[in-house]
Amino acid sequence: MAPFSILIKFEEYLKTEKRFSENTLVAYLNDLNQFIDFVSITKQEELKEVNYQLIRAWIVCLIDSGSSNRTINRKLSTLRTFYRWCLKQGFTDQNPMLKLKGPKLEKRLPVFLKQSELEFEKLNSLFLDDYEGVRDRLMLELFYQTGIRLSELINLKEEDVANNSIKVLGKRNKERIIPISPELSIQIVIYQNYKSVINTDSDRLLILSNGKNLYAKFVYRKINYYLGLVTSLDKKSPHVLRHTFATHMLNNGTGLETLKKILGHANLSATQVYTHSSFTQLNNIYSQAHPRGHKK
């Protein structure tokens, strides 16, 4: 851990101005401390001595240690944010990141489930008719029908639920309203009836059977288990259901701008990745349906 106070000030900047989530904040600080340890900075004045050759040497070290291109680019993103901030604060007079580009990323299409794998009839047989079964079913449906993130689901409060919508607190504390179907609204009411007999002080919508708040590993394990019963996909996570929501919405005619707002993306480019999946789906349909779409 670097001993100088600049890190404390940078952490405060990430919290108050960038409004990073706790997970993002921890990742940035870990990346930064790893870099500072590599270049052996012990004083604030030594920041000015860091050049792009030193950073390039760090990249080589990361590659040799087996870090993926995605991980390396995330770490470089941390340094870009840090050095832009240092320049603004006057802690350095040069930005060594300007001459550096990260390694190219492989384009990975989002993994998603088929609509047939999430049919109501198929899902009904998976869940027990008790509090945990009703809650788990609601968790899965909320992921699939709204596209919310894992952290957003855990932090949903009772007061965030209306008859036809939910209010979600997303990244950087940005609120958005997501419409929900009448069926999902009914599921929430049924769940709340089961929940009413549990002794809890929590204001969260979804809780454990002992009245305590949900936590990420618990939700991940539950979703992984249930998806394992309906799909053979290697990835079976809450985020796969977010990808599935987005892909199915696009396949059924939703516009990119609308989907961007629902997903809470800051930029349209983050939403456009789902168009590749949609085009693949459309191409397969075309190949099967059009008389000249396939070879005889």
What the block records as the tokens of 180 is: 């929900």
Asked whether residue 79 falls in the same domain as residue 132, the answer is no
Whole-model pTM: value is 0.68
pLDDT at 198: 96
From the candidates 242, 243, 248, 260, which is the catalytic residue?
242
Instruction: Give the end of a domain, one of 37, 64, 99.
Output: 99
Give the residue among 198, 194, 222, 197 at the shortest CA–CA distance from 211.
198
Asked whether residue 169 falls in the same domain as residue 275, the answer is yes
pLDDT at 282: 56
- Asked about 239 being catalytic, the answer comes back as yes
Instruction: Give the end of a domain, one of 65, 99, 133.
Output: 99
Domain range for 220 is: 115-289
pLDDT at 32: 93
pLDDT at 3: 44
- Distances in Å between the alpha carbon of 219 and those of 2, 207, 238, 264? 35, 10, 8, 21
Give the residue among 102, 155, 135 at the shortest CA–CA distance from 223.
135
- Asked about 149 being catalytic, the answer comes back as yes
- Asked about 137 being catalytic, the answer comes back as no
- Tally of domains in the chain: 2
Asked whether residue 222 falls in the same domain as residue 141, the answer is yes
- Asked about 171 being catalytic, the answer comes back as yes
Asked whether residue 73 falls in the same domain as residue 205, the answer is no
Rounded to a whole number of angstroms, the CA Rg of the chain reads 23
- Asked about 13 being catalytic, the answer comes back as no
Q: State the Cα–Cα distance between residues 81 and 63, nearest whole angstrom.
A: 21
pLDDT at 173: 85
CA torsion sign for 216, 220, 221, 226 is positive
Phi, psi (deg, nearest 5) at residue 280: -60, -45
Domain membership flag for residue 295: no
**Residue pair 138/187 in contact by the 8 Å Cβ criterion:** yes
From the candidates 9, 157, 171, 222, which is the catalytic residue?
171
Asked whether residue 78 falls in the same domain as residue 180, the answer is no
From the candidates 75, 137, 149, 195, which is the catalytic residue?
149
Q: State the Cα–Cα distance between residues 222 and 194, nearest whole angstrom.
A: 19
Q: Which residues of the chain fall below pLDDT 50?
A: 1-3, 296
